Amino acid sequence: MKDTIIFAIETSCDETSMAFVKNGNEVLGMTVLSQMDTHANFGGVVPEIASRMHTENITMVFEDILTQSDLKMTDVDAIAVTYAPGLLGSLLVGVEFAKVLSLVYNKPLIAVNHTMGHIFANQINNELKYPLLSLIVSGGHTDLVLMKGSYDIEILGSTIDDAAGEVYDKVARVLGLPYPGGPNIDKLAKEGANTYSLPTPMKDNTYQFSFSGLKSAVINLVHNEEQRGNKIRKNDLACSFQEAVIDELKRKVELALKNTGVKEMILAGGVSANVKLRETLKDLCEEYQVNFHVPSFKYCTDNAAMIGAAAYSLYQKKIFSGFDLTAESSMDIKKYMEQMKN
Ligand code: KG4
Ligand code: ZN
């Protein structure tokens, strides 16, 4: 069978990234230009600055990937781009650029959902076997889903309030740690002990997650201690918070492993870079004799290779977009699955 090479673009948040991906699982080249240092000055991503920087950087990133790889745009079978969800202005820069490439090189255009991209990061250098259980934990989403095929998804549960990554970022801010909060809490937690008593988010047997109560508990604890003039043991609090989040995620995953009996599990989204979470779920899966997969670190956070991987089966099914494709800022998996059916 002839190889399929997809050129992918990702600009949904603060990374401008492009990649060449072969057959949905082999990365032939990737460039990621992060704006993280700029946004760190503001304690979080500033949408207006993000879209402006994508506009400034996108041709540079395009030139860079063509220079560093042996491939030309004429070698490509399709152009894939993240169209949702994300920051509207940022997404639009990628979508419009993709349309231009599609028009100039006469290649089909593939619209990719960003969350599906995180899932398919697990397909890079790895074969996905269905049915599988997938936990998606990112800055905007926390979902536990059962995948019966590449785009055949049953949602078991989602967060009813904040996403896991979002809570990491908010707690980090209260602890005075720089943006992005997740990796910094992860680092600090390694130096601490689980000595602060925090509430268990949801003591129930559903697949739903809730993290806002935990977030409020940490914020209140910090404020109360400050008012009393007590010093916070930041590393212990980071550790206690992280344990509470991971405990919640683990409990729901265990419930799903028991109830579904699946033998394959994947972890996806930016929070999948968390070492403690990776280890906890790996051990849990071992206990249940389930094969556990997680992307290598560079494919955990936003990147274009995962978009190229997610585009592959859309290419095979010839699900292409016209030049009327536009960006959409909010699109959870449920809404996306409903759209796919129509
Ligand atoms: O998937 P992602 O790159 O962007 C979204 O699509 O949302 O996820 C970013 C999120 C941020 O909230 C960041 O703090 C979190 O992933 N994150 C982490 C770690 N690395 C990134 N959270 C916990 N531990 C980490 N090591
Ligand atoms: Zn992401």
pLDDT in tens, 2-43: 999 999 999 999 999 999 999 999 999 999 999 999 998 998
Measure 238 CA to ligand 2 centroid, in angstroms: 23
For residues 285 and 132, give the distance between their C-alpha atoms in angstroms, rounded to a whole number. Answer: 12
- Condensed to tens digits (0 to 9), the pLDDT of residues 190-213 reads 999 999 999 877 677 899 999 999
Average pLDDT over residues 219-243: 95
Average pLDDT over residues 245-260: 96
Find out whether 112 and 307 touch, Cβ atoms under 8 Å: yes
Q: How far apart are the first and last CA of the chain?
A: 30
Ligand nearest to the CA of 272: 1
Q: Is 182 in the pocket of ligand 1 (CB under 6 A)?
A: yes
Measure 102 CA to ligand 1 centroid, in angstroms: 31
> Under CATH, which number does the domain 129-295 receive?
3.30.420.40
Q: Do domains 5-121+299-341 and 129-295 have the same CATH topology?
A: yes
Q: Is 85 in the pocket of ligand 1 (CB under 6 A)?
A: no
Query: Do strands 5-10 and 15-22 pair parallel, antiparallel, or not at all (unpaired)?
Result: antiparallel
Average pLDDT of the chain?
96
CA distances from 279 to 42, 170, 282, 286 (A): 32, 24, 5, 11
Closest approach atom of ligand 1 to CA 273: 26
Question: What integer pLDDT is reported at residue 341 of this predicted model?
Answer: 82
Measure 127 CA to ligand 2 centroid, in angstroms: 21
Q: Is 271 in the pocket of ligand 1 (CB under 6 A)?
A: yes
Question: What integer pLDDT is reported at residue 273 of this predicted model?
Answer: 97
Confidence of residue 340 (pLDDT cuts 50, 70, 90): confident
Question: What integer pLDDT is reported at residue 154 of this predicted model?
Answer: 96
| Mutational pocket test of ligand 1: of 32, 168, 211, 294, the residue with most ligand atoms within 8 Å of the beta carbon | 168
Question: What integer pLDDT is reported at residue 339 of this predicted model?
Answer: 87
What global pTM score does this model have? 0.96
- Smallest CA separation from ligand 1 atom 7, residue: 139
- Condensed to tens digits (0 to 9), the pLDDT of residues 50-69 reads 999 999 999 999 999 999 99
Average pLDDT over residues 318-342: 92
Residue 233 has pLDDT above 90, yes or no: yes
Closest approach atom of ligand 1 to CA 115: 6
- Condensed to tens digits (0 to 9), the pLDDT of residues 117-175 reads 999 999 999 999 999 999 999 998 999 999 999 999 999 999 999 999 999 999 999 99
Superfamily name and number for 5-121+299-341: ATPase, nucleotide binding domain (3.30.420.40)
Question: What integer pLDDT is reported at residue 1 of this predicted model?
Answer: 81
Question: What integer pLDDT is reported at residue 200 of this predicted model?
Answer: 77
Q: Is 201 in the pocket of ligand 1 (CB under 6 A)?
A: no
Closest approach atom of ligand 1 to CA 180: 14
Residue 303 has pLDDT above 80, yes or no: yes
Provide the residue ranges of all domains of the chain, joining segments of one domain with +.
5-121+299-341, 129-295
| Mutational pocket test of ligand 1: of 36, 91, 301, 336, the residue with most ligand atoms within 8 Å of the beta carbon | 301
Residue 108 has pLDDT above 90, yes or no: yes
Q: What percent of the chain has pLDDT over 90?
A: 92
Closest approach atom of ligand 1 to CA 163: 12
Q: Is 186 in the pocket of ligand 1 (CB under 6 A)?
A: yes
Residue 113, C-beta contacts closer than 8 angstroms, at least 6 positions apart: 82, 83, 84, 85, 310, 331, 333, 336
Q: Is 168 in the pocket of ligand 1 (CB under 6 A)?
A: yes
Both tokens assigned to 131:
């049915």
